[in-house]
Structure 1
Amino acid sequence: MHRALCVSEILLQVFMHVNRVLDPYAPLLSYREISLARKSFAALARTCKLFYEPAMDLLWAELDGIKPLLGCVTRLHPVMYCRGGSKYLCFEVIEPLYEHETCQFLHHAHRVRSLRILHDDYLHVLSDLLIECMFPRLLSLSTDRNLNRYLHLFPSPTLRRCTLPCVQPDLKSVPIRCAALEDLSIKSSFGNIAADGQVLYDSIRLCKRLVTLACPPLDWTTLEYLSNLPTLRTLEIWDDRCSLGSCNLTFAPFLNITTLYFYTRRVAYTIAVMQHLDFPSLNQFEMDIVKLPWAEAEPLFHALSRHKTLSHIAISSERGDQELQDLLGNSSTPIRQFLCFTQLRILRFNFPCCCINLDNDLLLEAMSSWPHIRMLEFVDPQAAPTVTFRGLFTALHRCPRLHTLDIPLDTTDIDVDPTADSFLHTSLRHLNLTSSAMSNAEGVSRIISSVLPSVDRTCPPGYKRPSGICLEVQKHLESFRESSVLGRHILT
């Protein structure tokens, strides 16, 4: 072995290079790349004693399932790594671990830092395991299956993140044994509202250091507890199959919460939370709701208007309400309700009739109210485009930092002459035209190229609808850009 590898700094770089492939936040990797990285760590571990410990720590740091650990058990190794035999084995017939096999199974368990239990069928072999903590250094636990009576085997004193598919009967064992827990995620509905709800509420009130919480709806008492938890930053509420009822509690402000998400069928729970609770640091609000009728949308928008610190708002709904059609001639419009948010950076509406009365004047008024806006999306399948190029360019003067724009745009009526206007908006990169009325793709492309020279995309990624004329605009823009680059090369 070369003496250079005895230098700790050089050795660290070698291990960092291999570990970068196994980084869970790295871009999607092929099975071959991951397999090669793991083989590299195994080879490094066999090289010498100096390499063994750090290589083995990194080799076992991330596990998908407990199969590799079961493969360390002499009796189970041929079953776990069966070659040439049947691909479909009945793992239920495998007997639980015997007492003398426990050490073999746990031989490398102390090295595991992140565990994902996805499609394992082996948990029953742990039924006779008499141990309080299998993974003493575990930082992250994630599973998409109900662990039931096996949950108590996985929490560790070091656990920071825990993702479960639903409320588990033994959920309280997690905060009791994981004092360092920061991220708890249960993105599901209650199976039994009364029983599961009580388990969830009791468990959350045992958490002392939560930073991120995603769970089914909470009751007022649990929300009161969270209002006094200084570490909490993000709260996600999934489903809404329970009612908050009247509030008789006095809440402290949620001083440090910056992000709220609501994924619900109905809006009543969200309105109650936004009306009764104070979030002085709230920066981001997102809601994905099945149906957003106007009768409930207005009180929601009014409740949101209390929180002037919001700079990111996203509301999405599959269905609207037929009564909105009656408002087309009315001065009411969802957009106008948000003009008070002068600090907006991102505003995304994706629900029917969100563009009621959106025209050149209203767009100018809106963009004048949002000078810092960077992303503006009004996706409305029922909207008739009424904003023209003249109105768009006038409004863009007020938003010099706008990066992404998606609104119904009338590109049939070409009401501007780009050669007579020296205005350039160089920040806009993505102008979505999929909902626009258009007949002259080349003419539209020339206008965009002249006034919005940085636009490199006019339809969302992966948009392949054959009849989409915005694809023609995209092709013309690319052609203009190539011609421009070629012209500069010729001149130089």
Structure 2
Amino acid sequence: MSQHRALLVPDVLLVIFEQVNHSTEFRRSSRKYLAALASTCKAFHEPAMDLLWADMNGIDPLLGCVTRLHPMIYGGDKKHDFSTQHFCSQSVDPLSEHETRQFLRHAARVRSISITRDSHFHLISTLPVDICIFPRLLSLSTIRTLLPPRYLHLFLSPMLRRCVIPEIQLDLKVLVTRCAALEDLSIIFQCGPSREISPLSNSTSFCLCKQLVNLRCPPVDWATWKDLSKLPTLLTVWIHGKVLYPFGSDDFNSVPSLKITHLYFSVDSAAYIIAVMRNFEFPLLKGVKVNVDTLQRAEADLLLRALSQCSACQTLERVVIFAGESLVQERSGNLFTPIRQLFCFRQLRVLKLIFPHCCSHLDNDLLFEAMSSWPHIRSLELRDLHLRSPAVTFRGLFAALRLCPHLQKLRIFMDAAHIDIDPTTESFQHTSLHALDLESPDVRDAEAIARIIFYMLPCVHKINQVYGGSQCWEACEEVNRHLITFKSSSVIGRQIIGASSSQS
């Protein structure tokens, strides 16, 4: 039977085979189909084989191409259990020269490899140190410390674009020298009692990553931050892990500028974040995310003040700051209104503040001032577990909502016990808001709250109570029950009268 002419076009074949590769539920089934296609005819062989070997989980499938190892890899040899470390280290010799050629036969087709388990690396210990077994590899991911450092060079392809690697395995200079095309680098922090200082400290290797776009790494020192400021392509920096050495303002004698658009921190030291924000400019910054173990009031004020002074007032659209409970009980003392530091960000779309005292002294006037400062806001979440006496009322809430017509999600701590608005006399409706979480310590009239939501927030179908005890949860559920009743009555043409509805 002759083939359709379309099947002789390489691009058409590639589309068909990619569909086969992704249409099956199980990876094993798709590999079986691709193997069958590869053996169908010469025209199918190359594109099918390229897809068959494109994504690998370890090097075991390549070891299975070695005649001696095939029965052990695929379970044909019942005498030996190839998965045991004892058998691997004691009973199997490394590859010979001839077997190395068998092993490398399909290695050039591999585009992505993930090391998630012991892949018997001792078997390739005879490979030359200057060889890369995957010359066209685009993505390398090693989880935990399963890839011994002495074998790392075998995976460093000159075409490598994405690399995820534990810090303990890292020779950064070798990596960036051999992988000049690297665009996405994730260095996973390794913590332990024997660690004293990050090997990334005092590193000047990042300046070699001329095409780096995204970087995720443990906290780095001043010299490394200066290197990052020299990278023209860098857009995202994510700093995570434990700060292992001092990083104070005394280290700075200039204010370098980084043209990154997104900056993320997940560290144990707020002082480190404050130092970075205070001593660098980020004129193109669009998003900031901070996750820190604790954040005292003074630190929160310094952090937000440094953020407001980092030259991003015209660009910043997203701010997320999360911290756990304060370890030290702080006095109320001076007026603390952290959101005032963010009023300069007129382009703000998303604001999420979850840390102690973030809502201190938030009242109707301050909420109105905040909303007038953020006309483009889409999502606003202010959560403070320390707040016990909220001052924002329904009238203040709706006065603020008039200023932000694009708001879609709102989570705020407010006084839901004080009903100071009659929804039946108000003509205002906010039709963009569809997710509403009311954090309130006291709900006295669930029906009145449901009526306000029904009349003035038509796209909100229920409210959520994230924090609080069983009493708060019950009050929230009661509001939702009334809201369901009101909406059902409206659909079937009834008039809402109290908690129950009567036929009009």
Structure 1 contact 320–353 (Cα < 8 Å) conserved: no
Alpha-carbon distance in 2 for matches of 1:320, 1:338: 22
TM-score by length of 1: 0.87
Give the letter aligned to residue 45 of structure 2: Y
Deviation at 1:467, TM superposition (A): 6.9
Structure 1 contact 351–379 (Cα < 8 Å) conserved: yes
Structure 1 contact 287–314 (Cα < 8 Å) conserved: yes
Moved more, 146-155 or 91-100: 91-100
Superimposed CA distance per residue, residues 99-149 of structure 1 (whole angstroms, 9 cap, x where no aligned partner): 321122222211111111112342232222226101111111111132321
Alpha-carbon distance in 1 for matches of 2:343, 2:126: 62
C-alpha spacing 1:36/1:389, structure 2 compared with 1 (3 Å): farther
Report matched runs for 1:54-73 at 5 Å: 54-73=47-66
Aligned twin of 2:36: 43
Structure 1 contact 149–170 (Cα < 8 Å) conserved: no
Aligned twin of 1:224: 226
Alpha-carbon distance in 1 for matches of 2:135, 2:287: 36
Alpha-carbon distance in 1 for matches of 2:470, 2:181: 49
Deviation at 1:468, TM superposition (A): 2.4
Alpha-carbon distance in 2 for matches of 1:272, 1:280: 17
Moved more, 331-340 or 189-198: 189-198
Alpha-carbon distance in 1 for matches of 2:113, 2:71: 23
Moved more, 65-74 or 451-460: 451-460
Alpha-carbon distance in 1 for matches of 2:254, 2:422: 60
Q: Secondary structure at the match of 2:265?
A: strand
Superimposed CA distance per residue, residues 60-87 of structure 1 (whole angstroms, 9 cap, x where no aligned partner): 2112222222222222222222279698
Which consecutive residues of structure 1, in runs of 5 or more, have no partner in the other structure?
Answer: 23-31
Aligned twin of 1:446: 451
Aligned twin of 2:113: 115
Alpha-carbon distance in 2 for matches of 1:487, 1:43: 62
Structure 1 contact 364–395 (Cα < 8 Å) conserved: yes
Deviation at 1:320, TM superposition (A): 2.4
Report matched runs for 1:142-157 at 5 Å: 142-146=141-145, 147=147, 148-157=149-158
Deviation at 1:435, TM superposition (A): 5.3
Aligned twin of 1:162: 163
Superimposed CA distance per residue, residues 276-297 of structure 1 (whole angstroms, 9 cap, x where no aligned partner): 1111111111111001111222
Which consecutive residues of structure 2, in runs of 5 or more, have no partner in the other structure?
Answer: 495-504
Aligned twin of 1:241: 244
Give the letter aligned to residue 276 of structure 1: N
Q: Secondary structure at the match of 2:463?
A: coil
Find 2:87's aligned residue among 90, 93, 96.
93
Aligned twin of 2:134: 135
The answer to whether structure 1 residue 257 and structure 2 residue 251 are counterparts is no
Report matched runs for 1:174-323 at 5 Å: 174-188=175-189, 192-194=195-197, 196-198=199-201, 201-238=203-240, 239-245=242-248, 246-254=250-258, 256-307=259-310, 308=313, 309-320=315-326, 322-323=328-329
Alpha-carbon distance in 1 for matches of 2:67, 2:26: 28
Count of residue correspondences: 474
Q: Secondary structure at the match of 1:201?
A: coil
Deviation at 1:393, TM superposition (A): 1.1
C-alpha spacing 1:188/1:482, structure 2 compared with 1 (3 Å): farther
Structure 1 contact 220–249 (Cα < 8 Å) conserved: no
C-alpha spacing 1:484/1:197, structure 2 compared with 1 (3 Å): same
- What's the C-alpha RMSD, in Å, of the aligned pairs? 3.0
Superimposed CA distance per residue, residues 277-329 of structure 1 (whole angstroms, 9 cap, x where no aligned partner): 111111111111001111222221211111323221111111225454424xx
Aligned twin of 2:332: 326
Moved more, 50-59 or 184-193: 184-193
Report matched runs for 1:284-433 at 5 Å: 284-307=287-310, 308=313, 309-320=315-326, 322-327=328-333, 330-384=334-388, 385-433=390-438
Aligned twin of 1:14: 16
Alpha-carbon distance in 2 for matches of 1:481, 1:44: 57
TM-score by length of 2: 0.85
C-alpha spacing 1:466/1:10, structure 2 compared with 1 (3 Å): farther
Structure 1 contact 431–455 (Cα < 8 Å) conserved: yes
C-alpha spacing 1:355/1:194, structure 2 compared with 1 (3 Å): closer
Give the letter aligned to residue 20 of structure 2: V
Q: Secondary structure at the match of 1:407?
A: strand
Structure 2 contact 197–245 (Cα < 8 Å) conserved: no
Deviation at 1:40, TM superposition (A): 2.8
Alpha-carbon distance in 2 for matches of 1:125, 1:353: 58
Deviation at 1:364, TM superposition (A): 1.1
Q: Secondary structure at the match of 2:266?
A: strand
Deviation at 1:478, TM superposition (A): 5.3
Structure 1 contact 324–353 (Cα < 8 Å) conserved: no
Alpha-carbon distance in 2 for matches of 1:98, 1:35: 29
Report matched runs for 1:71-90 at 5 Å: 71-82=64-75, 89-90=83-84
Structure 2 contact 318–350 (Cα < 8 Å) conserved: yes
C-alpha spacing 1:218/1:475, structure 2 compared with 1 (3 Å): same
Give the letter aligned to residue 379 of structure 1: R
